[in-house]
Structure 1
């Protein structure tokens, strides 16, 4: 199911065919520098994330992380989308991309398109939880018009919390 489309990207729900992409986004050390948790070591872990987190969020909330597909490559290069964060009782805009797509405006392009769709799910505001030191993700959040709200802890790590009313 397509959520949004931009000049270069298709933002859609994850499907079972996307497990390899989920595995890559959770196993490449360069990507995981500012992501809590250990890297995935096998595809079964990606299948479990898809089933127990992503698809279950779609069922429970009607939304969840969305696959970002690059039109020119016809492959999933990352994710961008909403996730309800119970500890904060707020919805986070989360995003992650393969390193070869960093610095090309993909995060801003996908983030802009995703945020315009939050209202379709009755989401009035969004946060971004960004581990201290992750300047790339902070830059995307700021470019999307999110304001730094302060510091907090999430999953045992210090994070900068960014916020935006939609």
Structure 2
């Protein structure tokens, strides 16, 4: 476990979470503001993300996206956590949740819990790349103390770059 709140546990992903990773990356509604936004079509693609992206980040950087486990529902409902972006040479705070958990304060709760652990990982500055129009993600970024730093293009999409220095 990385950290927990009253409702959530943030922890490293495990192989047991591959099905949840598949769902997070195959539901079109969840991918509207995600880069890349092409839905996965096979469980093996989620296994590849787990082994070659998530676990690789844990090994290389000591951190990566973390599973957000909802205590009451006893299941992974999304992810939240840091990821090093070589294109920016900075750490990004990213988050994504299943639609049935939107509008319940989960995004802020998990993001604040993640930010509260960043000193353990020597993260002193972090960003959030938010596709233009993703008002929910912008609201979460602002609530955890991030401010609009720049507007940029990332992989062909206009993004708002939020930043916070700890």
Hey, what does 1:43 align to over in structure 2? 43
Give the secondary structure class of the aligned counterpart of 1:34.
coil
Q: Cα RMSD over matched residues? A: 0.6
Structure-1 separation of matches of 2:42 and 2:12: 22
Structure-1 separation of matches of 2:52 and 2:155: 18
The unaligned stretches of length 5 or more in structure 2 are none
Structure-2 separation of matches of 1:12 and 1:68: 7
Give runs of aligned pairs for residues 113-132 of structure 1, distance below 5 A.
113-132=113-132
Hey, what does 1:4 align to over in structure 2? 3
Output the TM-score relative to the length of structure 2. 0.98
Give the secondary structure class of the aligned counterpart of 1:128.
strand
Structure-1 separation of matches of 2:126 and 2:26: 27
Equivalent pairs, count = 165
Hey, what does 1:93 align to over in structure 2? 93
1:144 matched to 2:141? The reply is no
Structure-2 separation of matches of 1:148 and 1:104: 24
Deviations 1:48-105 (A, max 9, x none): 0000000000000000000000000110000000000000000000000000000000
Deviation of the 1:150 alpha carbon:
1.6
**Which moved further from structure 2: 89-98 or 149-158?**
149-158
Moved over 4 A (4+): none
Give the secondary structure class of the aligned counterpart of 1:30.
helix
